[in-house]
Structures are given as structure tokens and as C-alpha cells.
Chains A and B, each alone.
Chain A
């Protein structure tokens, strides 16, 4: 059973930075692409970013491009999301999700999420 555990969420002021982590287990992490998807309070889902199995390819959603950076450490079975220049509208639950393949196949499994609150 795939396990994805997000951490690093919390309350941060606008303009500051935060780094999220997603620790993966019970599957061959280095063989799969990984995603971040977020959900503002009471709202729908927004795809944030994707990284390929080997970390060489990355893509971002329009609203975070240039501010967020996705990365991974296959030795630690962990993916990261570095979030800089945070805005109030970045508030929400951030889900880590596993792709069904190495790169841009399908969002297959989700973690439980970590809450990020951007507020002064």
C-alpha cells in the first residue's frame, strides 16, 4: 500500500518562504513521477507542479511559476516543494501525489495533505 506523508506546513507571513516535504514508502519511489496539488479552504483542486522520476524534468502551474521549486532526493525517498514569495492566495492544503509512471502519466495515489496558511 503506497504511503505518502507530507510535512512542513504551518503559518507564514506573506512574502516569506516555506519548504514542504513528502516522504514516500512502500513503493519504488525512484521509478515514479511525483506531483503537488493544492486545495484552498472550501475550494477545488489545483495542480501545482510535477517532477519526473529522475528529477530532470519539472513543470509548474501558472500561479506558482517562478516562485515555487519542486525537487526530490531518491536516496531519501522524499520530494520537496520550496515555496518562496508566498501570497495569501497560496493558503490551502498541499497534497503530495504519486504518478502512475515515470513522467506525466496520471495522478494515481494521494497523501493526506499538509496545511499552509499565509497570513499577516
Chain B
């Protein structure tokens, strides 16, 4: 199974400041056939289901604010919130959809400092 490891487990960021979450996969999730990285990022607010933010490691889902961006390739990926807003308080998960079983990172809790 592909293990997804996120860091840090939690972070506190001031309003308007940048938040950066890292995700490392235990093996490459880059497809040589289409040059896509099979990584998605989800946001889960308290008492809500997860919501898709980013797919193919860097493609923003429709309707997601452009302060959210994804980057990385191969085994190392990053989710960046460029200017943290109060409504961004949530747990963020990376997920690989390259190999079965699909696996998630353990989650990163983002709070306001």
C-alpha cells in the first residue's frame, strides 16, 4: 500500500498569513503514461464531510478560492493557503489515487494563531 505522510500534524497561522502543508508518498504517484500526479487534497470542517480542493496535485476544483494552491511531483506535495481566512479553519487531507487501495494522509489541523 502507498503510505501518505503529512506534516505537520497541526499548525496555527495568523489571519492573512501563509499556511503550508506537506505530504509525502511512500512511492511515486506520477504516471509515466499521462505525466499526472495522482494526488488530491480535501478540506474537512468540523461536523462536515470532506470537500475536494485540489486534484492532479495542482488543479483547483471549480469554486475553490484561488488562495488555495497545490504543487509537487513524484513523492513530495504541498498545499498552500496564501492568505489564511477564518473560514479556512479545518483539517486538510492529502490522498493518492494512483494505486489500490486509495490512501489518505493522517490529516493536518489548521487553526488561527
Contacts and interface: CB of A to CB of B under 8 A. Distances in A.
Interface of A: 37, 44-47, 50, 59-62, 95, 100, 104-113
Interface in B88-111: 93, 95, 97, 100-107
Interface stretch (B26-34, B44-52, B66-74, B75-83): B44-52
A37 B104 CA distance: 10
Given A106-B97, A110-B50, 9 more contacts: A37-B50, A44-B104, A44-B106, A59-B100, A62-B101, A95-B49, A95-B50, A106-B55, A107-B102
B104 A106 contact: no
In the complex, which range does the number of interface residues on chain B fall in?
A: 20 to 34
Contacts of B105: 44
B29 to A, nearest CB: 13
B1 interface: yes
Per DSSP, are chain A's interface residues mostly helix, strand or loop, or mixed? strand
A108 B52 contact: yes
B40 interface: yes
Contacts of B93: 44-45
9 closest cross-chain pairs (CB), A and B = A110-B49, A47-B102, A45-B104, A61-B101, A44-B107, A59-B100, A44-B106, A106-B55, A95-B49
Interface of B: 1, 40, 42, 44, 49-52, 55, 93, 95, 97, 100-107
A46 B93 CA distance: 11
A47 B49 contact: no
A59 B101 contact: yes
B95 A107 contact: yes
B63 to A, nearest CB: 11
A105 B50 CA distance: 17
